[in-house]
A and B are shown apart, each in its own frame.
Chain A
Amino acid sequence: MKQEFFEQQHAADWQAFEQWLKLSVNKRKDRPPLPFAAHELPQRYRHLCQHLALARDRDYSLSLVEHLHQLVQQGHDLLYGAQGNFGQRAWAYAAGGFAADVRANRWWVLAAALLLFGPQLAIMLAVHLQPDLAYLIMSPLEVARMEQMYSNDAQTLGRVAREASTDFQMFGFYIFNNVSIGFRCFAGGITAGLLTITALVFNGLSFGVVEMRLTQAGLAENFYSFVIGHSGFELGAIILSGAAGLRLGHAVIAPGQRTRGAALRDTARALIGMVCGLAVMLVIAALIEAFWSPLKLGLPIKLSVGGVLCVLPLVYFVFAGRRRA
């Protein structure tokens, strides 16, 4: 069949298809009627694919082939681009998939926890025996500022020396700072895990120094009443981001019987849900840290409510989503 005849035969179909693609984007009520019903689309798309194959095989002109190719590509994007129900998927993930993912990665989580808490305990012991060792990690100025932040004269806990002065501003700061740290901790894993390990160890060390110095200064009560509420969510999320980063780093070092690219792809696909989950945890932590933790209430209240908030993530990770698996 010659090109001219081929075009004459099918031009109307192609035009209808093109028209449909153009109009279907328009969601307003007054749009002109579509040239054919939506359920005809897959069939028409397959016809178009056939025409493209014929046009290529019969050496029809380049521009005809290109024209059909573009139509096929747009149809392909439309048919294969459906995103599913995002809200429903996110909800199902939060209701149990996240916990199941974390349990599936429990050895990585354990490793990340050791990298965070190991240095923390070590430096706490060191500072307990030799207080000046704190200055290895933090400058004297920073230590003094920390002590002032949690001092008894401070109006609200945890933020006197910082420039921010209202709860909401602190909320913005915590989100910006902590979620970014979580994301970086994961992405840094691609440097064979080095950046992730550095971040975990360094965070552990500075927590340890602050905790021990404040205890030594007699401010432990203020400190714990501030941190206990959000610590479960915040430390939990940091450990998860560390676990994700370590696993990504492992895929770089030991891809197994795959290419490095394939190993990275598979690993990232398995981890990305967990990374989004930990971002949500950090947002919850920021809410608690900005609006609950700075309140000056009686120590028993702060400790009991904080304690419940603290073990909440743990309960979720241990028990949620068991039925799915």
Chain B
Amino acid sequence: MLDTLRSVTTPELIEVQLRPAGLLPRTLAWLIDFAIRLGVVMSVGTVLESLGDFGGGLLLLLYFGLEWFYPVLFEVLGKGATPGKRALNLVVVNANGTPIGWGASMTRNLLRTADFLPFAYGFGMVTMLCHREFRRLGDIVADTLVVYREKQQALPDLAEATPIMPTAPLDRATQRALVAFAERARGLTPARQEELADLVPHLAHDATGPQGAERLLGLANHLIGRRT
């Protein structure tokens, strides 16, 4: 399968689908986080420098904290995402789909050291590219996944049309395709709607052009239960 979906069954016996994120978005997220950390160290560093040796000690502590605990704190307290990950709609979850806890987050971020070897996240990239769920060593050891989490969207309104009853029973795939077409119709140009309708002359009853598209919308309206 080319699909990278991972289905997880929750205790309610419902399947939740997770979509693991690949190398590129995760690299970008890391770069954003790196830039943030660098910015913090540089800006706070100039302030701390004026405090002399005491400031130097504080700077080392800050650097230590950012190096090891920046991802952990954000992942556990910030709904599974560092600012970089949030910018790319990514979150870290346990392999069973539940939000990540302290232990798992610590493990996956400590293992960054191993992923970083031999240089520039070499091992991490290789394991990520070889793994079908794009896990780096830290993810394998901590049993975590980095997945896409899209923002909640409002339900789209199905394009209105006079409902038409199909003349013959439609199979499930066809029904699904018709409803999906009607949902997307508002975002398609009339020309594209007609082009799509022309691909299924048996459904459009040989009506072409605007009538064909209108007929498909009518069928979809009937399928979701609208009646005249």
Q: How far is the CB of B179 from chain A (nearest CB, A)?
A: 4
Expressed in whole angstroms, the Cα–Cα distance for A179 and B152 within the complex equals 41
Fill in one digit per residue for B56-79: 1 if any A CB lies within 8 Å of its CB, else 0: 111111011001100000001001
B140 at the interface (CB under 8 A from A): yes
Interface residues as binary, A8-19 with B (CB distance below 8 Å gives 1, 0 otherwise) = 000000000010
Judged by a CB distance under 8 angstroms, whether A152 is at the interface is no
B111 CB contact (under 8 Å) in A5, A172, A180, A187:
A187
Least distance between A82 CB and chain B CB atoms (Å): 9
Q: Of B31-39, B96-104, B195-203, which stretch is located at the interface?
A: B96-104
Complex contact B106–A272 (CB within 8 A): yes
Task: Determine chain A's interface SS by DSSP, over half rule.
Answer: helix
Stretch at the interface among B20-28, B82-90, B153-161, B208-216: B153-161
Q: How many residues of A contact B (CB 8 A)?
A: 63
| Residue in A closest to B140 when the chains form the complex, CB atoms | A261
B194: chain A residues within 8 A (beta carbon): none
**Given A62-B179, A187-B114, A191-B114, do A67 and B153 touch, yes or no (CB 8 Å)?**
yes
Q: Does B113 sit at the interface, judged by CB under 8 A?
A: yes
| Nearest-Cβ distance from residue B37 to partner chain A, whole angstroms | 14
B60 contact set on A, CB distance < 8 A: 169, 172-173, 175-176
- Compute how far the CA of A191 lies from the CA of B179 in the bound complex, rounded to whole angstroms: 53
A183 contacts B by Cβ under 8 Å: yes
Question: In the bound complex, what is the Cα–Cα distance between A80 and B101 (angstroms)?
Answer: 10
* B225 pairs with A76, CB closer than 8 A: no
B162 contacts chain A at the CB level, 8 A cutoff: no
The range of chain B's interface size is 35 or more
Residue of B nearest to A251 (CB): B141
CB under 8 Å from chain B, chain A span 186-243: 186-188, 190-191
* With A4-B224, A176-B64, A187-B113 as contacts: A63 and B156 at CB distance below 8 Å: yes
B61 touches A5 (CB 8 A): no
Q: Is A311 an interface residue (CB 8 A)?
A: no
Q: Which of chain B's residues have a CB closer than 8 A to the CB of A61?
A: 158, 176, 179-180, 183, 224
Rounded to whole angstroms, the CA-CA distance of A57 and B39 in the bound complex is: 51
**Lowest 3 CB-CB distances: which A-B pairs, in order?**
A2-B225, A172-B60, A81-B99
- 13 further interface pairs, Cβ-Cβ under 8 Å (given A49-B13, A171-B57, A180-B64): A18-B152, A59-B172, A76-B16, A80-B10, A166-B53, A166-B54, A166-B57, A170-B57, A176-B64, A187-B112, A188-B114, A268-B141, A275-B106
